[in-house]
Structure 1
Amino acid sequence: MSEPADDILTRPLGVAPPPEPGLKGRIARLRRIAAQPRAQAGAIAGALVLSIALLFLLGDPQGGEPRVVVAVTLRETAPAAAPRETVAEAPAAAEGAPAAEAPSAQRSAEEVETASGVTVVRPTGTTAPSEAVVIRVPSAPLRLAAAPDARLTERGRHGAIPKMGEGRIRPLDIYARPEEDGTGPRIAIVVSGVGIGQAATARAIALPPAVTLAFAPYGADVERAAARAREAGHEVMLQAPMEPFDYPDSDPGPQTLLSGLRPPENIDRLGWLMSRFPGFTGIVNFMGGKLMSDPGALEPVMREIGARGLGFIDDGTTPRSQAVALAARTKTPAARAEIVLDAVPRPDSIDRELARLEAMARAKGFVLASASALPLTVDRINRWAKDLDARGVRLVPASAVLRKQPLGRLSKAE
């Protein structure tokens, strides 16, 4: 029985029957053709000869015939708007959109700002594009002097240590971060305990560059970590372990300066501490309640610090410290922190101390504060300092107070 004729009325409009692939499909078509009247045989034979010739010449089972099969789905569409009109009308069209999308967009913007270092200060409680905003693009890190400086270095028993240079040039002046020009209240913050643990050190180095970082002497990679901090623009200091009242139950670590040692022994220990890394502007105490309240034991240490052109920062944790009182006698630049930001290491307490620090700076013009490198403390300082300059307050390095006081005593202006 012959197959029914291929009638265009029996197929969907505009759709040809799918051909079988390759030579097998062409043979099948020839068999169907053979069933048609003999009158068409001559023309069909010519077409067959031509198809086979093309197959061998072109190596194409389809005989060189171009074919494209496209699946098309018809749906109702609206006229497309011009791109410029779409952008302009986007806020109006979004009025009916769910409000939950706005926080997601805001978070994305904040992530971009954090990654790029750009700070955008927006009016409180609004994200409207028409509202005025302040955009601060970070500048390149301020470059500090290279360390060590051969003019300010000598070889000690434990390695290279700082010294006063010819013409009485001091490491305090050469290695300091220059204070940028500006007016208004100033705040200096010394963050101690840096250099212990890579993650904690990286977080501290990410603080605003004007924050001074004091490195503990015991880190395995303390020299490289201090160099990275200076490359990021931070002024650095050396943290010296000093005897507390409950020593040795509380032990600050090896090479602790002790009130019971003879002065040369403490000076030798100080030499070991100073050989740990170059480029520091001065010394910060670590603990030290007993040593710092003993003038006889502390005075030779302070004298050695001043003679080497360094400064001294009392972190404010020792109520009976004699450091600043001895500074004038030993000609050592010194200052004492008025606020310890994380004396109570809780977020609400640190935030209160930061607010008090800012209020005190507005009242006095300058305040020195200290803090530890705890992740919580570093996080709260970063949050507080994010828009500090927009509030009219400047962060300055700790050397700003030390360099102006060659006798180590704070003036009334400070």
Structure 2
Amino acid sequence: MWIAVALVAGLALGYFLGHKRLGPPPTENATSQAPAAGELERRVRLVEEALHKSLKAQQADLASLQVVSAEPREHAGQTYPFTTLRLPQVDSRALHERLVKELAALVPSAKLTRVGPDVWDISIDGLPTHRLNLPPEAPRPETPAPKPAAKGRLAIVIDDMGEDVAVARELAVLGAPVAFSIWPDSSHRPEVIKIAKANGREILIHLPMQPKGYPKVDPGPHPLLTTMHADQIKAQVARAVKRVPGAIGINNHMGSEFSQFGAGMRAALSVMREDGLFFLDSRTSAATVGTAEARKLGVRTYQRDVFLDNIQSQAAILKQLRQAEGIAKQRGHAIAIGHPYKQTLAAIKLWLKEKDPAVHVVAISTLPPL
């Protein structure tokens, strides 16, 4: 029989030993090419090492880690454990991001999938090996409802980042937590990412998508297209994620055509869900299905309220900032999207001095999702 996962010295995860026993059949999507004898057990151990490292990095109370069950299963003549664990209290978003990275480093064939709000599965070559049950987040103390129009929170996202390093430096020291949405193929991407991280700025991936009028209207390299199959779309999104390390979300660059393509948006959003990223719908089309499909898939999602600089004059941009400020005061929160233009930067600086002090510029991740 399999020995359940145990804590070693109150810290490390134990490893499984056991004898062969017939168990439930593998899932239909398990790979037909089974790992060599002993290889599956080795990968299971590496999965547990990745989980241990991730929990330790989050300073989780490992003594609270519980083994719910350890069920022996058999696949292709090899016996392996399917283990259900109850995790200690931890920041689930940070843990997910760290665990994805640890698994990629230690067990490239392993995949972490959200199967419910507080349930994750780990599989190796499509073979489920672990189920992770997260404790519900501690309830937040109730706060009195804010008085109407008393205050508001406004998030500002600057698209098309990664080309102008000087503007990135100015935005980084603006005195407001403006998010950087970075092109995956921008020429100064690594340097701009470094600037954002050094100054505590949130990073998004500015993902090119097919606009109306394509190819005459060019969204740039590696766009998502309506002619692509789901696997091609997923590969493009995964590529973008790798090229912008540290990103917490994705928003669309152009995409007035692709964002209306339900099947394509579902494929793209499925990768965001697996990587724990949110989706900000830039709403380049009034007929976008991005927000609706994201909510169906359980992907945390936001949508743009105001474009700041369709007209590139400081006066026009100031007018748009005041419009966004008004929405934030009325509704409690708003999202504005701008671009790294000198006029935009100058207008934001001036607006920060003039704005209603009850309206706070905040990081987008602090806003309530749709």
Contact residue 341 and residue 370 of structure 1 kept, 8 A: yes
Larger radius of gyration: 1
Matching residue within 275, 280, 285 for 2:252: 285
Partner of 1:151: 99
The yes-or-no answer on 1:300 pairing with 2:248 is no
Contact residue 316 and residue 370 of structure 1 kept, 8 A: no
Report SS of the residue matched to 1:249.
coil
Aligned pairs (5 A) from 1:11-410: 150-153=98-101, 155=104, 184-386=151-353, 388=355, 391-401=357-367, 404-405=368-369, 410=370
The 1-side partners of 2:99 and 2:151 are apart by 36
Q: 1:167 to 1:232 in 2, by over 3 A?
A: farther
One-letter code aligned to 1:397 = A
The 2-side partners of 1:354 and 1:255 are apart by 32
The 2-side partners of 1:313 and 1:194 are apart by 16
Q: 1:288 to 1:391 in 2, by over 3 A?
A: same
The 1-side partners of 2:344 and 2:285 are apart by 20
The 10-residue stretch of structure 1 (208-217 or 280-289) with the greater mean CA deviation from structure 2: 208-217
Residue-by-residue CA offset, 1:232-264 (whole Å, 9 max, x unaligned): 121111110000111111121221111110000
Q: 1:379 to 1:331 in 2, by over 3 A?
A: same
Q: 1:260 to 1:149 in 2, by over 3 A?
A: closer
1:203 Cα deviation after fit: 2.7
Residue-by-residue CA offset, 1:203-241 (whole Å, 9 max, x unaligned): 332333411111111223312321221211211111100
1:163 Cα deviation after fit: 6.7
One-letter code aligned to 1:221 = H
Residue-by-residue CA offset, 1:290-330 (whole Å, 9 max, x unaligned): 11011122111112212221100112332221111111211
- Tell me the TM-score normalised to structure 2 length: 0.60
1:155 Cα deviation after fit: 4.0
Q: 1:236 to 1:254 in 2, by over 3 A?
A: same
Q: 1:269 to 1:290 in 2, by over 3 A?
A: same
1:150 Cα deviation after fit: 4.5
The 2-side partners of 1:150 and 1:324 are apart by 26
Residue-by-residue CA offset, 1:262-284 (whole Å, 9 max, x unaligned): 00011111111111131111101
Contact residue 164 and residue 188 of structure 2 kept, 8 A: no
Q: Which runs of 5+ in 1 are unaligned?
A: 1-144, 170-181
Q: 1:151 to 1:319 in 2, by over 3 A?
A: same
Contact residue 151 and residue 328 of structure 2 kept, 8 A: no
Partner of 1:111: none
**Alignment size in residue pairs:** 243
The 2-side partners of 1:163 and 1:349 are apart by 46
Contact residue 244 and residue 289 of structure 1 kept, 8 A: yes
1:393 Cα deviation after fit: 1.2
Contact residue 196 and residue 218 of structure 1 kept, 8 A: no
Partner of 2:59: none
**Structure with higher helix content:** 1
The 2-side partners of 1:261 and 1:374 are apart by 33
One-letter code aligned to 1:259 = T
Q: 1:164 to 1:351 in 2, by over 3 A?
A: farther
1:199 Cα deviation after fit: 2.0
**Structure with higher strand content:** 2
Q: Which runs of 5+ in 2 are unaligned?
A: 1-92, 121-131, 133-145
The 1-side partners of 2:214 and 2:186 are apart by 22
Residue-by-residue CA offset, 1:173-221 (whole Å, 9 max, x unaligned): xxxxxxxxx9931111111111112223223323334111111112233
The 2-side partners of 1:332 and 1:164 are apart by 12
RMSD over aligned CA atoms reads 2.9
Partner of 2:11: none
Contact residue 255 and residue 272 of structure 1 kept, 8 A: no
Contact residue 316 and residue 336 of structure 1 kept, 8 A: yes
The 2-side partners of 1:372 and 1:276 are apart by 20
Identity of aligned residues (%): 23
- Tell me the TM-score normalised to structure 1 length: 0.54
1:387 Cα deviation after fit: 5.3
The 1-side partners of 2:175 and 2:215 are apart by 36
